[in-house]
Amino acid sequence: MQKNKLPTIKEIAKRLNVSVSTVSRALHGHPSIGLVTTMRVQKIAEEIGYEANKSAIHFKERKTYTIGVIIPNLSEPFFSSALSGIEDIAEKHNYNVIIGQSLDNFEREKRIVENMKDHRVDGVLVSLTKDTSTYEHFENLKKYNIPVVFFDRVPARKDINFVACNLLSGMLQAMAKLVKAGHKRIGLINGPAKLAATLQRVEIYFKCLKENNLPIDQDIMVSTSLAKSDNVKAIQKLLALDERPTAVIVFNDYVVLDCIAAVKAAGLEVNKDISFISFANLPIWEYMDTLPLASIEQFAHSQSVIATEYLFKMIDEPGAGYGTDKPYLQHVIDSEMIDYSL
Amino acid sequence: MQKNKLPTIKEIAKRLNVSVSTVSRALHGHPSIGLVTTMRVQKIAEEIGYEANKSAIHFKERKTYTIGVIIPNLSEPFFSSALSGIEDIAEKHNYNVIIGQSLDNFEREKRIVENMKDHRVDGVLVSLTKDTSTYEHFENLKKYNIPVVFFDRVPARKDINFVACNLLSGMLQAMAKLVKAGHKRIGLINGPAKLAATLQRVEIYFKCLKENNLPIDQDIMVSTSLAKSDNVKAIQKLLALDERPTAVIVFNDYVVLDCIAAVKAAGLEVNKDISFISFANLPIWEYMDTLPLASIEQFAHSQSVIATEYLFKMIDEPGAGYGTDKPYLQHVIDSEMIDYSL
DNA sequence: GTAACCTATGCAAACGTTTGCGCAACAACT
DNA sequence: AGTTGTTGCGCAAACGTTTGCATAGGTTAC
């Protein structure tokens, strides 16, 4: 029971006194093998419980039928949801998924890329670390003909394949809603400067203000490191203003959670004294009694599904998406405001 | 750049006019190879960017340095947290992790096991589907010498390796707290009958009642399918009783969320008219203003870490944990009540 | 001077599978 | 009878690496 070797194609060949090539072909239903032989082979294979050794095939075919996924953190619902989507598509293609959590650590990201290359994955999906600003480790994969598709947290360059989410669309919806409700002073609580997401938010914030003919006012723009205490400080700063904003765009739902608590602590009322719009559309809002006016959904699942489909396109049609003759595979999903006030 | 073959050991051998075996040994620092040769080989290897083809090695060594993880659902924080723990340990052992979501579907679970076997993973970690009641698909892995360790949702049998969580300890703490606070009628909102977790809870519920000399009262025991509407019905049923319970043990935190909403809707006050104790210790409580008295933590991360260490023990010492001469690897972690009222 | 022993290297098999090519045997045409 | 075609199968190479065994040349020991 221990080291009893698994049945191989040779075993079958020996039993039937045919060659291994015949067996191999018979098992694949190759037309050049006679019907009787094919049947006999398949019967024996069944009997002794033969199963092809995938390792051998991977080795020979130089494919592993495995894709690698590199994400910052599995514990964020956004990414676990994305991973779910990836797994769904991979399964349809009979592929396996191996994962690596970068934990938002650039060095780890590099190590994981190395590891995936060692493992000869057939493709890689990546959502970047917040510190990633060089991309040699990914470029390196080209040497091994390992295609890469980025999603959500993507490099700021054009010569790549990616799927990302356009925050502007959702934000425009949100801003329209605020303006319609009469808000004229709309603040911003942004994230740490080094995050790409932070830059994005300030850009669309400005665009939205402009679109609605509202002035830019540095006083009502603050930022947080995303630490709880810092989140509280940020909202307190806004609340302390002589002329405080009546609505605030907030970096994400987690920050809003702290803001809401702080507003209550200050004896003010959310959605009356001050309203919030945020990003993420966390499922927990369903259970909260105090929630932002709306949150902007970035469709983790859809993003990852499309990214995975792109990846398989590149795997299946070598050359696709390498920007040589074929164009890069790029897609931007519109974000959407989810209105909680309905 | 496209199909340029990767450098192999042969390549190096040719360049140096030595045999491949010499190269192989030199690269491993084998003592029987002369110092100069070793150096020359390593230098060339470096130069041409040689990297061992892991697929070839996996094939030859009959190992893939990959473990498989089968869990019901990545989107549950419990499991994504568990997966995090698994990945941590796997990384320490230089192993990869491939995942499979059973989506609580028994047939999918079987398919995933098949797939992992095909992929020749070196071991498997499993948390069962709620419908899993037969285990042939796992037993089958023994033929392939693929060790299996179960965690959290484990089979109800003794001849396995597992890590699980003992709900009783946390529950005793909780019950003690309730009794101390003067509660005498302590109800139960349990899950669907077919879940192992449901049976567990009713057992420990009875034990705890007995321990505290409280009577069993079928009237204050209800159950829910875990659907939102059903959760609400369950709590409403209790609230409607002439002599309603003053405290309720609830299947998990998600159910409590609905219960809290229903209590409020009924014009009653949580923690005054009725108190809750639950399971899961979800992180979101931190942000809620109305929360249960306490929730029982089941330590997903610790469970998975220990389970993974067991798995590596089995991988590294063939025979370990197979219950032959060596004992099964089994561990039970005590759950712990996390007191939110402090 | 020859037996015994290192040292450094090469040979070849093995892991399991796929596949291009070749070659029988037989059938079907001229 | 000779050519051509078809059918069914085997041979052997190839994928990249590791490793037991053999061996050549050199040293030491008696």
Q: Domain holding A191: CATH number?
A: 3.40.50.2300
Length of chain A measured in residues: 342
Average pLDDT over residues A52-60: 93
**Contact criterion met (CB < 8 Å) for B83 and A98:** no
Task: Identify whether residues B248 and B178 lie together within a single domain.
Answer: yes
**Contact criterion met (CB < 8 Å) for A99 and B97:** yes
Task: Identify whether residues B43 and B137 lie together within a single domain.
Answer: no
Closest CA to A230 of A203, A205, A262: A262
Q: Which of A4, A6, A287 to mutate to test the interface with B (most CBs of B within 10 A)?
A: A287
Measure, in angstroms, how far nucleotide D8 C1' is from residue A143 CA.
42
CB-nearest partner of B75 from A81, A115, A260: A81
Report the alpha-carbon distance of residue A39 to residue B85 in Å, rounded: 48
Task: Identify whether residues A191 and A262 lie together within a single domain.
Answer: yes
Task: Identify whether residues B189 and B278 lie together within a single domain.
Answer: yes
Residue type, A71: I
Average pLDDT over residues A117-144: 91
Q: Which two tokens stand for residue A57?
A: 């095939």
**Contact criterion met (CB < 8 Å) for B58 and A54:** no
Q: Name the residue range of residue A91's domain.
A: 64-165+300-333
Task: Identify whether residues A174 and A195 lie together within a single domain.
Answer: yes
Task: Identify whether residues A85 and A145 lie together within a single domain.
Answer: yes
Closest CA to A16 of A40, A36, A35: A40
Average pLDDT over residues A320-339: 84
Q: Report the DSSP beta bridge partners of residue A67.
A: A97, A123
pLDDT in tens, B219-228: 999 999 999 9
Measure, in angstroms, how far nucleotide D2 C1' is from residue A27 CA.
38
Length of chain B measured in residues: 342
Is residue A57's beta carbon less than 7 angstroms from any atom in nucleic acid strand C?
A: yes
Task: Identify whether residues A219 and A71 lie together within a single domain.
Answer: no
B2: pLDDT strictly greater than 90: no
Name A120's Cβ contacts closer than 8 Å, sequence gap at least 6.
A58, A62, A64, A144, A146, B53, B54, B55
Q: Which of A1, A6, A59 to mutate to test the interface with B (most CBs of B within 10 A)?
A: A59
Task: Identify whether residues A290 and A177 lie together within a single domain.
Answer: yes
Closest CA to B129 of B203, B197, B230, B177: B197
**A194: confidence class by pLDDT, cuts 50, 70, 90:** confident
Closest nucleotide to the alpha carbon of A32, via C1': D8
Average pLDDT over residues B88-115: 93
Task: Identify whether residues A325 and A288 lie together within a single domain.
Answer: no
With tokens 């003690």, the residue in question is: B176
pLDDT at A196: 84
- Considering only CB atoms, which chain B residues are within 8 Å of A66? 98, 119
B260: pLDDT strictly greater than 50: yes
Q: Report the DSSP beta bridge partners of residue B166.
A: B334
Asked, for residue A3, whether it belongs to a domain, the answer is: no
**B248: confidence class by pLDDT, cuts 50, 70, 90:** very high
**Contact criterion met (CB < 8 Å) for B142 and A1:** yes
Contact A294, A279 (CB under 8 A): no
Task: Identify whether residues B242 and B266 lie together within a single domain.
Answer: yes
Asked, for residue B147, whether it belongs to a domain, the answer is: yes
Angle, vertex CA A163, rays to CA A162 and CA A166, nearest 5 = 125
Which of the residue ranges A27-36, A70-79, A116-125, A292-301 has the most confident prediction, judged by mean pLDDT? Answer: A292-301
Average pLDDT over residues B17-32: 93
A3 exposed, middle or buried (CB, 10 Å; 0-12, 13-18, 19+)? exposed
Task: Name the helix (H) or strand (E) containing A331.
Answer: strand A330-334
B310: pLDDT strictly greater than 70: yes
Report the alpha-carbon distance of residue A340 to residue A284 in Å, rounded: 12
Task: Identify whether residues A217 and A233 lie together within a single domain.
Answer: yes
**Contact criterion met (CB < 8 Å) for A55 and B55:** yes
Structurally, chain B folds into a number of domains equal to 3
Name A42's Cβ contacts closer than 8 Å, sequence gap at least 6.
A26, A27
**A3: confidence class by pLDDT, cuts 50, 70, 90:** very low
Q: In what order do the strands lie in the sheet with B96-101?
A: A330-334, A162-166, A148-151, A123-126, A66-71, A96-101, B96-101, B66-71, B123-126, B148-151, B162-166, B330-334
Task: Identify whether residues B219 and B329 lie together within a single domain.
Answer: no
